Amino acid sequence: MQQTFYKYQGTGNDFVMIDNRQQTFNKKDTKHVAFLCDRRFGIGADGLILLENHPEYDFKMVYYNADGNESTMCGNGGRCLVAFAKQLGVIKDKAIFQAIDGLHHASIKDDIVKLQMLDVNTVETHKNHVFLNTGSPHHVQFEKDIAEFDIKTKGAAIRYGEPYNEAGSNVNFVNKQSNTTFRVRTYERGVEDETLSCGTGVTAVAIAMHHLGETDKTQITLNVEGGTLDVSFEVENNTYKNVWLIGPAKLVFKGSI
């Protein structure tokens, strides 16, 4: 069976996009999803996203990791899906859509997509790291020599170690560049490797840096391996609200497989 797909990327975090409004895609076939995401035998991507109809909102997002399993929220994937929805004519310049972690508002102008993320009311501070959930779980820790750091080995050790074990966590390594700018490298569970960017990851880093007092700003720039993202938020009664992930989302190519 021929499958039409679209390839999108947001700061190097890339996704296979499929229009599943007619429910033609077999969502139970995890091996097929993994095949499509395979960089040698398939299309190649960090994840696969289905755009589906929703009875109340503009569309529904269904997200799979590269290993073929449906997963928690993906921020860059959500931004790319907004761009995809605009290309399909589902939306014009604004969207409200349902994802696994709830409703998201978004806007798009040219290639820049602003995506509203979950409120965060719990930030766990530990001796050497911070843990929080921004739609997906994230471990955040400082690393001085981030350019030469072995992200895959060190990230995997944390992802599978205590206290995360089998459920796992995404792992973010951070280097402070200024009061408003941080460099981030992320190991993503489900991909089981470093990705060039992680939307929920940079959101977690921005909030963690403010929580730790590393910045007093509420709009923060995150330099990732694939480019630059911005995160803005408001703080009220120890809750991070009105959280927005901002950055480019672009079509790479369209094809059939």
Q: What 3-state class would DSSP assign to 181?
A: strand
One of 36, 50, 51, 74 is an active-site residue; which one?
A: 74
Q: What does the CA dihedral 148, 66, 113, 72 come to, rounded to 10 degrees?
A: -100
Whether residue 37 lies in the annotated active site: no
DSSP string across 163-180 = TTTTT--EEEEEEE-SSS
Which residues have a Cβ under 8 Å from the Cβ of 194 and sit 6 or more positions away? 151, 152, 155, 185, 186, 187, 188, 225
What the block records as the tokens of 33 is: 């999803």
Whether residue 198 lies in the annotated active site: yes
Is residue 256 within 8 Å of 240, Cβ to Cβ?
Answer: no
The C-alpha atoms of residue 123 and residue 126 are separated, in whole angstroms, by 10
The C-alpha atoms of residue 147 and residue 54 are separated, in whole angstroms, by 43
Residue type, 125: T
One of 33, 108, 151, 198 is an active-site residue; which one?
A: 198
Q: Where in the sequence numbering do the catalytic residues fall? A: 74, 198
